[in-house]
Amino acid sequence: MALWGGRFTQGPDQRFKDFNDSLKFDYRMALEDIEGSQAWAQALSEVGVLSADECARLEAALSELLAEAQQDLAVIAQAGDEDIHSYVERRLIEKVGDLGKKLHTGRSRNDQVALDLKLWCAKAGERISASLTALERELIAVAKNHVADIFPGYTHLQRAQPVTFGHFVLAYAQMFERDYIRLQNALSLIKATCPLGSAALAGTAYPIDRDKLAHALGFAAASANSLDAVSDRDHVLELLSCASISMMHLSRLSEDLIIYNSGEAHFVDLSDAVTSGSSLMPQKKNPDALELIRGKCGRVCGALTGMLMTMKALPLAYDKDLQEDKERLFDALDTWHDCLDMAALVFSGLKLRKEEAYQAARGGYSNATELADYLVARGVPFREAHGIVGRAVLYALEKGKALEDLSVDEFEQFHSSIGGDVYVALELHNLIAKRSVKGGTAPAAVLAQLQELEAKLKTRA
């Protein structure tokens, strides 16, 4: 049964129907459509369109439908109706007869779909918030075990200065914490305004208390402009943007771990549980989980770009183009959710190869800055010290030695103030411990960072 047809003399071409129908993907909003319909029935009864008895019967039938949908959501996709709104109305009429035909009074699928999608977004956002929190907790657990373990720190993918592995891991925890906050901001905007009662575009003709209706559905207020409300998909863009930024973080994390796990670096070992073999090369153990996360970042960012293009130049108010919002949103949020869970799984089995990481951190003259600071402490202006150390590095390179392998005599060629205490300064643990400023890599600072983040997460479910 279609929701329209009176002014048509001919049915739709099957190819058009296949092209136009959205039930095959918008079935996922069944619970939200029913929830919105229950609130609408209540609103209609308050303005006398439905009697109390009619409202009760409709609500009971809708509750039955809700329970059925909760049992098996996916089966709805096959029902053949045009969209989820048509499905719910048809099933309602099957249950309560002609009374079911009254529910759509004063409502349009335009405000209905706008509401359903907002409700769906809010729930999806909660699910993803939980996954972000779980990943942050996993990262904190790993960082806790490696607060003082030395790891090479990079800039330009060249060894720069040593850091601790805990500090590296928490860098990503901070990114996911921002993703969490960004998502909460987006969710609070979603729940700020309720579009129901905007009807097709001009507002419903029934004197419904829209703010009351909005509150009943968990929103702060009714939307202020019906033209805007039925065609606003900012929340879709915002969620896709949150997803894209977070996927970019996940992709960077994946890339780092792929490099660190490579034969060339081999500072970490990925667990067998998240790697796969080659059908030809028996020795291979490939970082597929991480590569897939990195690859899926493109898919999610593509969804954001696609949605921006759909919205661009869209005339007010509702246009069918807007039906293009759902598939990519559903796919992008599912993907984001799965990638967050997968990243947590990767970390739960990750092993740091402490000795390899330490040796790599020792190489690459990553304690050169420390030698410059050592000279600064002896009165040499930093820029001059920089030049002196640069020459010392060049000399050491030619000799095939590390800085700390040079003798005091050799050091003295570069500056007379360098003495036997230079070796303590160049020792990695010592130079790391000096970076105890807030946000620094010293174990004490990493511990403080860890505790601060942990305290934030404690208040979360």
Query: Under the rule (CB under 6 A), what is the footprint of ligand ARG?
Result: 22, 26, 83, 109-110, 113, 318, 320, 322-323
Angle in degrees, CA 90, 96, 98, rounded to 5: 75
CB of 322 to ligand ARG, least distance (A): 5
What is the C-alpha separation between 300 and 295, in angstroms, rounded?
Answer: 9
Residue burial 305-324, b: 16+ Cβ < 10 Å; e: rest? ebbeebbeeeeebbeeebbb
Q: Cβ(352)–Cβ(268) under 8 Å?
A: yes
What is the C-alpha separation between 245 and 402, in angstroms, rounded?
Answer: 40
Residue in 156, 279, 407, 416 annotated catalytic: 156
Six-digit token string for 344? 């947590």
Which neighbouring-strand residues pair with 161? Answer: 153
* Residue nearer to ligand ARG on the CB measure, 3 or 408: 3
Q: Cβ(152)–Cβ(366) under 8 Å?
A: yes
What is the C-alpha separation between 361 and 338, in angstroms, rounded?
Answer: 33
CB of 287 to ligand ARG, least distance (A): 39
What is the C-alpha separation between 64 and 34, in angstroms, rounded?
Answer: 10
* Residue nearer to ligand ARG on the CB measure, 319 or 334: 319
Residue in 51, 63, 188, 278 annotated catalytic: 278
To the query of whether residue 429 is one of the catalytic residues in this protein, the response is: no
CB of 90 to ligand ARG, least distance (A): 15
Cβ count within 10 A of residue 396 = 18
CB of 123 to ligand ARG, least distance (A): 18
* Residue nearer to ligand ARG on the CB measure, 327 or 338: 327
Q: Cβ(402)–Cβ(381) under 8 Å?
A: no
What is the C-alpha separation between 217 and 89, in angstroms, rounded?
Answer: 20
CB of 117 to ligand ARG, least distance (A): 8
CB of 118 to ligand ARG, least distance (A): 13
For residue 116, give every residue at least 6 positions away whose Cβ sits within 8 Å of its Cβ, in sequence order, or none.
26, 29, 32, 33, 36, 84, 85
Q: Cβ(223)–Cβ(174) under 8 Å?
A: no
CB of 17 to ligand ARG, least distance (A): 13
Cβ count within 10 A of residue 133 = 18
Six-digit token string for 328? 């990519």
Q: What sign does the CA torsion over 186, 192, 197, 201 have?
A: negative
CB of 78 to ligand ARG, least distance (A): 17
What is the C-alpha separation between 110 and 131, in angstroms, rounded?
Answer: 32
What backbone torsions phi and psi does residue 87 show, to the nearest 5 degrees?
A: -60, -50
Strand, helix or coil for residue 125: helix
* Residue nearer to ligand ARG on the CB measure, 83 or 370: 83
* Residue nearer to ligand ARG on the CB measure, 32 or 83: 83
* Residue nearer to ligand ARG on the CB measure, 83 or 138: 83
* Residue nearer to ligand ARG on the CB measure, 312 or 320: 320
Specify whether the backbone of 400 is left (phi greater than 0), alpha (psi in -120 to 50) or beta. Answer: left
To the query of whether residue 241 is one of the catalytic residues in this protein, the response is: no
CB of 158 to ligand ARG, least distance (A): 51
Strand, helix or coil for residue 400: coil
Provide DSSP, 203-242: --SS---HHHHHHHTT-SEE-S-HHHHHH--HHHHHHHHH
* Residue nearer to ligand ARG on the CB measure, 210 or 326: 326
* Residue nearer to ligand ARG on the CB measure, 311 or 442: 311
Q: Cβ(349)–Cβ(268) under 8 Å?
A: no
What amino acid occupies position 312?
A: K
Annotated catalytic residues are 156, 278
